[in-house]
Amino acid sequence: MWSRLTYTFRETGASLRRNVTLTVAAILTSAVSLFLVGGTFLVQRGFDNLLSKWAGGVQMIVYVTPQATPDQITAIQQALSSNPTVIDVDKLVYFDTEASLAEAKRLFAADPGAFALLNANNIPTEFKVVPKSGKLDLLVQLADSFRPLPHVQKVVLARDQVEQIAKLRDFVQTVTVGLSILLLIGALILIWTTIRTAMYARRREIEVMKLVGATNWFIRIPFMLEGLIQGLVGGLLSCGFLLFFNRLWTNGVVKLKGDNGFIALVVSDSFLNGVMFGVVAFGMIAGAIASGVAASRFLDV
Amino acid sequence: MIRLENVTKIYNSEVTALRDATFEVAKGEFVFLVGPSGSGKSTLLRMMNRQERPEKGAVWVAGRNINEMPDSKVPHLRRNIGNIFQDYKLLLNKTVHENVAFALEVIGRPKHVIRQQVPAVMDLVGLAGKQDRFPHQLSGGEQQRVSIARAFVNRPLILLADEPTGNLDPGTGEGIMRLLDRINKTGTTVVMATHDQRIVNMMRKRVIQMDRGIIVRDQARGVYE
Ligand SMILES: Nc1ncnc2c1ncn2[C@@H]1O[C@H](COP(=O)(O)OP(=O)(O)O)[C@@H](O)[C@H]1O
Ligand SMILES: [Mg+2]
């Protein structure tokens, strides 16, 4: 067992050194592609956060002041429900203080300072309004009639902020997913080429190994380890990029301040950590599998 | 130990390298395969450790039909068969000791076995004291001894030798021949392809003669012709 391990590490190390140029190219390509994969997740998460307020076809939010009494809240609910041809009453949802605070906590994950300023006495509660299908225009016309009701703080329409953002998200999604797939393929081809080159450099050794009865797994494992290490290093590098750009992004968004809701574009540290872990694991597994398959292709018994 | 039954080998569906070859080699026997270049000697040897598979016929080694063996068993078959070649196939970046140890290392033999078996086989092939040289610091005959040590260090049942004296001057070749004879006397079955007339005539062993893929003579205590 020990002799197997030392053999494997010695061969892997020698092969990585022998192939410096290709190895570096494979590592850099995997780093950039894994960075894009991770970045795609982060950007999606940011947009989803931002849009999550509006999930489920919500087109209008009626904010109610925290001072409203239960009777006054009921009055607003009745005013909304009295338009059953426009508003889908079954889907009408009320976020009470607790639910509104929970939502804010999620949206302000990146800015705990701002969240700390919120409490039951100053956070507005919300009615989330879904229109009946095809009735969006009528809902927009109705919006003005809710503004003067007592204790309505403001009425916000999705049309004003959400649709542009959703379009932007779809565009960004297409670009990042497309680019990361392309680069991933590039990275796999480079790892494949590195392994093939490494095997060509060692063809005499492989021939001897096969003749003296080494198993294909034994021959393959140093190469798989080589691919795994390339994926690992590429993954770690991509984590560096992700940390750097996420910091840049977070700082930029936090500086925007104001009541524009963009703070939700920032993702939480735990999500970032999850993405980084996933990217490294994916890099290692993909690298090992790509080189294992490459090795098998050039290893017919 | 080895039995071929009506073995036919066709390369790329056009070159018939072996046609209907049938013979048997007993345990501990020594056999010369002779014949001109291209007559199928190397192909015949490669049939015996499943480097090639026949289009027709069967190859039996140590009681097993090796062409019906799953791929995963082939390495274990090969651990019982040593190979030596005209060009030695040594690893040039490894020392003599490392070249021989390599054969045990890559089949997962533990360190203490390697430490014990490598020096023993070095003595046997007459290379004691040269373990730390690299192949380029050795003569042709010495390099062939290293390759024999590597083939024999795991004590295989069978040794397949493909023109092992082909690159050596007559005196050196004779030394290698005597070494193979000594290995044969330990009970190892040896099949040796050669067109070295002198050596075949000197040894008076069984001779199987090939011509364009056909066995044209199989003679005990034969000569080259
Ligand atoms: N891998 C191969 N692919 C195609 N033809 C081959 C291959 N190996 C050998 N041959 C052909 O098979 C015939 C026998 O070759 P070989 O077994 O090498 O003969 P020998 O060892 O007696 O010189 C020759 O015609 C040779 O060209
Ligand atoms: Mg030949």
The structural domains of chain B, with segments of one domain joined by +, span: 1-80+156-225, 90-155
What is the domain count for chain A? 2
Q: Which of A208, A212, A218, A219 should one mutate to test binding to chain B, selecting the residue with the greatest count of B CBs within 10 A?
A: A212
Does the C-beta of B209 come closer than 6 Å to ligand 1?
Answer: no
Task: Tell which of A123, A157, A191 closes a domain.
Answer: A157
Backbone angles phi, psi at A146, to 5 degrees: -90, -20
Distance B162 CA to ligand 1 centre (A): 13
Nearest to B78 among A3, A4, A213 (CB): A213
Helices A216-256 and A269-297: crossing angle in degrees, nearest 10, is: 150
Cα–Cα dist B170/B175, whole Å: 9
Please count the residue pairs, one from chain A and one from chain B, whose beta carbons lie less than 8 angstroms apart. Answer: 59
If asked whether residues A287 and A200 sit together in one domain, one would say yes
Q: Do A211 and B79 touch (CB under 8 A)?
A: no
Q: Grade residue B7 by pLDDT with cuts at 50, 70 and 90.
A: very high
| pLDDT given for residue A29 in this prediction | 86
Tell me whether residues A205 and B76 touch, CB distance under 8 A: no
- Note the pLDDT of residue A301: 46
Question: B107 touching A, CB under 8 A?
Answer: yes
* Residue B43 alpha carbon, nearest atom of ligand 1: 17
- Which residue, A99, A122, A157, sits at the end of a domain? A157
CA distance B78 to chain A (A): 5
Tens digit of pLDDT for each residue in B141-187? 999 999 999 999 999 999 999 999 999 999 999 999 999 999 999 99
Residue that terminates a domain, selected from A124, A157, A190: A157
Cα–Cα distance measured from residue B99 to residue B93, given in angstroms and rounded to the nearest whole number: 9
CA of B31 to the centre of ligand 2 (A): 16
A78 and A226 together in one domain: no
Nearest residue of chain A to residue B75 (CA atoms): A213
Chain A residues with beta carbon closer than 8 angstroms to that of B150: 208, 212
pLDDT at B90 over 70: yes
Whether A120 and A255 share a structural domain: no
> Does residue A38 sit in the same domain as residue A79?
no
pLDDT in tens, A108-134: 776 777 777 888 888 889 999 888 888
The minimum-distance atom of ligand 1 relative to the CA of B39 is 22
Would you state the pLDDT for residue A56?
78
User: What six digits make up the tokens of A232?
Assistant: 């690992």
| Same domain (yes/no): A169, A284 | yes
Q: Give CA B210 to chain center in angstroms.
A: 17
Centre a 10 Å sphere on the Cβ of residue B82 and count the other Cβ atoms it contains. Answer: 29
State residue A1's pLDDT score: 64
Question: Which of the residues B106, B148, B157, B158 would you substitute to probe the A interface, choosing the one with the greatest number of A C-beta atoms within 10 Å?
Answer: B106
The residues with which B214 forms a beta bridge, in sequence order, are: B211
Structure tokens at A144: 């003005």
The answer to whether the CB of B86 is under 6 A from ligand 1 is: no
**Does the beta carbon of B42 lie inside 6 Å of ligand 1?**
yes
For atom 11 of ligand 1, the residue with the nearest CA is: B17
Collect all residues of chain A within an 8 Å Cβ-Cβ radius of residue B106.
Answer: 7, 209, 212, 214, 218-219
Task: Please indicate, yes or no, whether residues A146 and A190 belong to a single structural domain of this protein.
Answer: no
Output the pLDDT for position A3. 67
- Closest ligand by atom to B17 CA: 1
Cα dist. B223→A55, B177, B213 in Å?
A: 93, 15, 20
Q: Do A189 and A295 reside in the same domain of the chain?
A: yes
- Establish whether residue B43 lines the binding site of ligand 1, counting it when its CB lies within 6 angstroms of any ligand atom: yes
**Domain match, A193 and A295 both:** yes
| pLDDT attached to residue A148 | 85
Instruction: Looking at the structure, tell me whether residues A48 and A60 fall in a common domain.
Output: no
Contact at CB, A213 and B108, closer than 8 angstroms: no
Residue A23 sits in the same domain as residue A150: no
At B42-76, the pLDDT tens digits run 999 999 999 999 999 999 999 999 999 999 999 99
ipTM computed for the complex? 0.92
* Contact between A4 and B108 using a beta-carbon 8 Å cutoff: yes
Same domain, residue pair A100 and A11: no
Percentage of chain B modeled with pLDDT above 70: 100
What is the model's pLDDT at position B62?
93
Q: Which residue has a Cα nearest atom 9 of ligand 1? A: B43
Q: Nearest residue of A to residue B93 by CA position?
A: A205
Pairwise pLDDT comparison (A180 vs B137), residue with the higher score: B137
Contact A25, A236 (CB under 8 A): no
Identify the helix (H) or strand (E) that includes residue B177: helix B170-185
CATH topology of domain B1-80+156-225: Rossmann fold (3.40.50)
Q: Give the integer Cα–Cα distance in Å for B186 and A39.
A: 67
Strands B81-85, B64-65: parallel, antiparallel or unpaired by DSSP? unpaired
Residue ranges in chain A whose pLDDT is less than 70: 1-3, 110, 256-263, 300-301
- For residue B35, the ligand closest to its alpha carbon is 1
Dump pLDDT digits (tens) for B16-38: 999 999 999 999 999 999 999 99
* Residue-number span of the structural domain to which A151 is assigned: 56-157
Question: Residue A107 maps to which CATH number?
Answer: 3.30.70.3040
